[in-house]
Structure 1
């Protein structure tokens, strides 16, 4: 994992983002920092001093966006991940807003071929794990549908290629349109309008992600 330089952009928030993950209990703000260091998707952290709870968020938090009312029990820190370990020599770019090392493939491949292509670099298909990351993909690839990591199994439901459960969905209307393992091979496709479940052999552009 890349080292993190914690920037003391300390702010105070009145309310939290709607898609923020549940907090973890910590003893102090340093424990909250350490928790963020261990989470590669953590870009901002929120420390609740009154309840001694720590929130990790995969994007930058700015007071003007969330509201100007002050809650003096919440301390907000934006981190600065430098992208150390992101293999630029293989064509990858680093985005510090969502802390992702990524590579766009504008040509088309099937899901299996795309996985193999990403794996050959030591990466994987990009995993859309939050609204912040979903919006990021809209910015870097606004053109058309793209393959993202996610496959549906008869036993277990939607899984990422590493075996973790897919927990973030933004389905288009009437999607998904069949049960896992029935009819189509079920893979995840993303567009600006939302997610589809599609034939795994449909060729699409794709984005690789490299964990750092």
Structure 2
């Protein structure tokens, strides 16, 4: 019986990625990839490419889209993978793609896949009874630096919206020995106002203040940022360099 073989030139990195991609099952009808790591990639059409650009984690050249998806699985931050069949470029992103309703043109040569995974695969912990995850960062940053770090990971500072959510979070924080550690959470107030808002401008309705808080509205260095400490909310200057909690969704 006659058999033909196709040879491809690959470096060691691509060989390793290709071997890991053996665990993928390509379903021709559903365009869904499944793996032995309980992850999957769902094909996304009509993607807003402009929205994804600021969140590129890396760009590489791969032999095919299977290897590209393997690269995404190897990154704890990767949410979306885009493979260009023309130049064989593979870009991985830290956010989920939004529908392309801005009129931007997306070439048909780029195939986008959104990763489906658990919080733990991204180094996060699940928020009880939600599709959201959180992570306490060990690095101390200012409020601006903390917000940027969370955005780079595809999320934002954690938005505590209920007593149930706070109580669950406090249990985890106490278990880690961080109950008395000050942590940035999402929330700010505009100069001269007493209303507190999340960074998306939603007005906050749950505020679990410590006794005597908030107390920094009229300080020389206004305390217009929100921090969590010992289970209560405190106002604080945005210039403080402290640890923080990020929140992101599982997709």
TM-score by length of 2: 0.46
Number of aligned residues: 129
After superposition, where does 1:34-45 map in structure 2 within 5 Å? none
- 1:117/1:194 Cα in 2 relative to 1: closer, same or farther (>3 Å)? same
Take 2:248 and 2:238, find their aligned partners in 1: how far apart are those partners?
Answer: 22
- What per-residue deviation string (whole Å, max 9, x for no partner) do you get for residues 170-200 of structure 1? 1111111133797414100111241110011
Take 2:118 and 2:143, find their aligned partners in 1: how far apart are those partners?
Answer: 23
Question: Corresponding residue for 2:156?
Answer: 124
- 1:89/1:112 Cα in 2 relative to 1: closer, same or farther (>3 Å)? same
**Offset at residue 121 of structure 1 (A):** 1.0
Unaligned 5+ residue runs, structure 2?
A: 1-115
- 1:180/1:102 Cα in 2 relative to 1: closer, same or farther (>3 Å)? farther
Take 2:246 and 2:220, find their aligned partners in 1: how far apart are those partners?
Answer: 28
**Offset at residue 85 of structure 1 (A):** 4.9
Q: CA RMSD in A?
A: 2.3
Runs of 4 or more consecutive aligned structure 1 residues displaced over 2 Å after TM superposition:
84-90, 95-100, 154-157, 178-183
State which structure, 1 or 2, has the greater radius of gyration over its C-alpha atoms: 2
Question: Corresponding residue for 2:187?
Answer: 150
> Larger relative contact order (C-alpha < 8 A, sep ≥ 6)?
1
- 1:162/1:155 Cα in 2 relative to 1: closer, same or farther (>3 Å)? farther
More helix by percentage? 2
Is the contact made by 1:151 and 1:187 (CA closer than 8 Å) also made in structure 2? yes
- Is 2:214 the counterpart of 1:176? yes
**Offset at residue 118 of structure 1 (A):** 0.3
TM-score by length of 1: 0.54
Aligned residue among 194, 202, 207 for 1:164? 202
Is the contact made by 1:98 and 1:136 (CA closer than 8 Å) also made in structure 2? no
After superposition, where does 1:1-212 map in structure 2 within 5 Å? 85-86=117-118, 88-97=120-129, 99-142=131-174, 143=178, 144-154=181-191, 157-179=195-217, 183-212=221-250
Is the contact made by 1:90 and 1:121 (CA closer than 8 Å) also made in structure 2? no
Unaligned 5+ residue runs, structure 1?
A: 1-83
